[in-house]
Every structure is written in structure tokens, then in C-alpha cells.
């Protein structure tokens, strides 16, 4: 888990402009998102997901910390969409 699992608010953003109190992580070291970002970057996701994954891998630590909560939400939404399409596919087979 990446140490930047904090909600985005003004205090959090101000903290990111200074020295963070926890060790930073990047897309390359983020155990929660690395595989999903690679999947999205390899054209398995939409054009938007491809672009945001590319941005995550090129972001510096400060900007990745700002992107991370959004990436987690996108990953969760994508997982729900994939799960619901599997259910629809199974119902169509019947």
C-alpha cells in the first residue's frame, strides 16, 4: 500500500508542496496500482485510461501523490464495470 492514502483537501495539497512526512511512492513502486496501470497503458483500457496511466508513469512524486486517489477510484470503477459485464455475458449465454 502506498503511504499517500489520504483524502484530498487543502491541507493535504499544502503538505505536498513541502516535505512529505511519509516516504513517497511512484507508479513504479505502487503495489496497489502498478499492474492495473500497466494494463491500462498497454491499450487494454479506453483512450482516457491509457492517457492517465501514461501520465501516472511520467509524474513526479508530488504529482503522483495528487493523482493516486483518482487512480484508485478509476481502478475500482473499472473493476465494477468489468464484473457487471461478466454477469451480463453469463445471462446472455443462458
Q: pLDDT tens digits, residue range 20-71?
A: 454 578 999 999 999 999 999 887 778 899 999 999 999 999 999 999 999 9
Q: Does 70 reside within a domain?
A: yes
Q: Does 89 reside within a domain?
A: yes
Tell me which residue range forms the domain holding 70.
Answer: 25-93
Q: Does 77 reside within a domain?
A: yes
Look up the pTM and report it: 0.63
Q: Cα–Cα distance between 38 and 30 in angstroms, integer?
A: 11
Q: Does 10 reside within a domain?
A: no
Per-residue confidence at 92, pLDDT binned at 50, 70, 90?
A: low
Q: Cα–Cα distance between 46 and 51 in angstroms, integer?
A: 9
Amino acid at each position: 500500500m502506498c503511504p499517500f492514502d489520504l483524502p484530498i483537501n487543502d491541507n493535504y495539497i499544502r503538505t505536498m508542496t513541502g516535505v512529505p512526512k511519509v516516504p513517497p511512492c511512484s507508479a513504479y513502486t505502487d503495489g496497489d496500482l502498478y499492474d492495473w496501470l500497466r494494463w491500462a497503458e498497454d491499450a487494454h483500457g479506453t483512450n482516457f485510461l491509457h492517457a492517465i496511466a501514461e501520465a501516472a508513469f511520467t509524474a513526479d512524486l508530488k504529482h503522483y501523490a495528487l493523482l493516486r486517489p483518482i487512480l484508485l477510484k478509476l481502478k475500482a470503477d473499472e473493476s465494477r464495470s468489468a464484473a457487471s459485464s461478466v454477469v451480463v455475458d453469463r445471462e446472455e449465454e443462458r
